[in-house]
Amino acid sequence: MHARVAFYRVQSGTLEQVVQTVEAPGGLLEIFRARPGFQSYELIATPVGVVSVSHWESSEQADDATRAAAAWVAEHIDDLVKLQRSDTGEVVLSSPAAAAVH
């Protein structure tokens, strides 16, 4: 599994506007879901902005997602957020929630 992680600073508007636009029809989430290898997506609120995390089957798919996200952000929310950093890499440790012990 590979991940794409991008850090954005909210420039104008609200975090809620960013989330609504990402979730809306034609939004980034819909675009990611339609791409091969997509596994999951999270948008994480932080004190300084938002972190976008997506998981993919291969490094090529994660890299393609980076390009797709950059194009989508430029077209739809460039006035709301500014990309600070974006990276892709192999997930070397992932742990699901622990099962309840009976």
Size (the chain), residues: 102
DSSP H or E run through 6? strand 2-10
Within a domain: residue 27? no
* Residue 14, CA distances (Å) to 22, 34, 54 in order: 13, 27, 22
The verdict on residue 59 lying in a domain is yes
- Structural domain count of the chain: 1
What confidence category does residue 19 fall into, taking pLDDT thresholds of 50, 70 and 90?
Answer: very high
What whole-number distance in Å separates Cα of residue 63 and Cα of residue 69? 10
Residue 67 lies in a domain: yes
Mean pLDDT of the chain: 91
Percent of the chain surpassing pLDDT 70: 95
Pairwise CA distance, residues 42 & 11, whole Å: 20
Q: Is 28 among the domain residues?
A: no
The pLDDT tens digits of the residues spanning 33-81 come to 999 999 999 999 998 899 999 999 999 999 999 999 999 999 999 999 9
Amino acid at 57: E
SS3 66: helix
Domain of 6, in residue numbers: 2-13+38-90
**Res. 97 pLDDT band, cuts 50 70 90:** confident
In a domain, 77, yes or no: yes
**Whole-prediction pTM:** 0.86
